Amino acid sequence: MQKDAQKYGISILGLKSDSILPLGNYVATVAYLEILVKNYTKDQHMLTITDLKAEDKMNYAAAEKVCSPEVRKMIADNIDNSAGTTAYFKLMYLI
Q: What is the pLDDT of residue 12?
A: 58
pTM for this prediction: 0.77
Q: How many structural domains is the chain composed of?
A: 1
The pLDDT of 84-94, averaged and rounded, is 89
Q: What is the pLDDT of residue 58?
A: 64
In angstroms, the Cα distances linking 43 to 27, 48, 49 are 27, 10, 14
Distance (Å, rounded) from C-alpha 6 to C-alpha 24? Answer: 22
Residue ranges making up the domain that contains 75:
3-94
Task: Give the ranges where 26-68 is alpha helix by DSSP (H).
Answer: 31-39, 42-45, 60-66
List, for residues 59-87, the tens digit of each pLDDT value.
677 888 888 999 999 999 999 999 999 99
Which amino acid is present at 24?
G
Q: What is the pLDDT of residue 5?
A: 47
Helix, strand or coil, per DSSP, at residue 60: helix
